[in-house]
Amino acid sequence: MRGIHLYLLSAICFSSAVLAAPTKSGKGSFKVQRRRISPRGLSGGAAELGKAYRKYGFDVPPALSNKVSMHSSLALGDPGDRTEQDSKEADDKDDDAGNIPADTQEGDVSFHAPITVGGQSLMMNFDTGSADLWVFSTGLPAAQQTLGHTVFDPAKSSTFKPLQGASWQITYADKSFARGTVGLDTVDIGGAKVENQAVELATTVAPSFLRQEHSDGLVGLSFGSLNTVKPRKVKTFFENIMPTLDKPVFTANLRHFELGAYEFGKIDESQFEGPLTYTPIDASDGHWQIESKTFAVGDGEKQSNPNAKPAIMDTGTTLILADDLVVEAYWSQVEGAEMNDAEGGVTFPCNTQLPDFHIALGPTYTAIVPGDLMNYQRLSLETCFGGMQSNNGGSVQVYGDIIFKSQFTVFDGGNQSIGFAPHK
């Protein structure tokens, strides 16, 4: 009976803490602006492809697995150092408009921005493909706290409150994982604050997470139903701040080799051409998921993908992971393109001019991705890695930053829809 009593008491403590509405303060809109750094130890195309496969539970082909394993062993041997610029306090960079700087890894690998948790500045990945706000913490073994990350220390936060009985765990198909404890603290992004925001503290992580050396954690921007906290899921930062915004939206204005921004509560019409076209989402599993059933290559005719898998719009993924029919139709139009087992994906001669890629984002809008964006990475003087790769028969297609770099995108939480328009 004593065990049952303690379990019920823990559950009651957890329930009362989570059900207490976070206090929001600040602005009806705010912007998270990006800036560029030149970090060490960048991930290659195969590593980014492998990361996406793990995230969505896709089967990893042996050739890709071998390539990623080789890259991983090299990465662990060279954890790299954060630049002096990375360690500056975000408060030093804030301005009256609520703009904060963000880091772009060279080659557009991923985008990061400083936020504060309990007054401590952390460089975070903004990810519309997940719903956990988690950070590297002092709960990790001491040796893992020095591998290129700034760790959050709850003991140094006067506003941190542990969430008794709560835990979280992210597990990928290859058995890699991150897990830990949960607390409530004040999270500040661009001057907009959510008090009592659930923050997940990593206390055990697999080596694959430690290799993500340019990020101190992740801000999940999908829906709370995808959250991994137990025994009860928690709301995301966006879900908590949304009622205070001028509009229940955030926008992704991500650009190739240019500064861009995430903006919450406002749609900056100076950043895109023509009207926005909105498409409804299916958020039943927590994702910003849309239909995508047609495509075209260059000046060719529109083609149908009759068995098209739904597509997840994911700022936390770099590449386009499409159905095989689409991948084969595109790369068959590129002379010299091939499935390159040594590199873990489709490669092509770098001196080839790639055709534009036309892809349906919903039933009424077709995005045009310029051919130069379909060239993800130069592997050598002669060989480049393709920006679109196969989802290997996975249950979804995943549209990552290759798409976003061509489209201004509005994530509308109030109307459960996504809006698209070409960048200006």
Active-site residues: which are they?
A: 127, 314
Residue showing tokens 């804030």: 94
CB 126 within 8 A of CB 111: yes
Q: How far apart are CA 220 and CA 124, in angstroms?
A: 10
Q: How far apart are CA 352 and CA 365, in angstroms?
A: 28
Contacts of 155-162 with C-beta under 8 Å, sequence gap 24+, read 156/118, 156/119, 156/120, 157/117, 157/118, 157/119, 157/120, 157/185, 158/118, 158/119, 159/118, 159/119, 159/185, 159/186, 159/195, 160/118, 160/184, 160/185, 161/17, 161/185, 161/196
Q: How far apart are CA 408 and CA 255, in angstroms?
A: 9
Local structure of 14: helix, strand or coil: helix
Query: Side by side, which strands form the sheet with 345-349?
Result: 338-340, 345-349, 383-386, 375-378
In 3D, which of 230, 227, 218, 217 has the Cα closest to residue 286? 227
In 3D, which of 265, 266, 222 has the Cα closest to residue 244? 265
CA 308 distance to own-chain centroid: 23
Local structure of 133: helix, strand or coil: strand
Q: How far apart are CA 329 and CA 324, in angstroms?
A: 8
Q: How far apart are CA 125 and CA 196, in angstroms?
A: 21
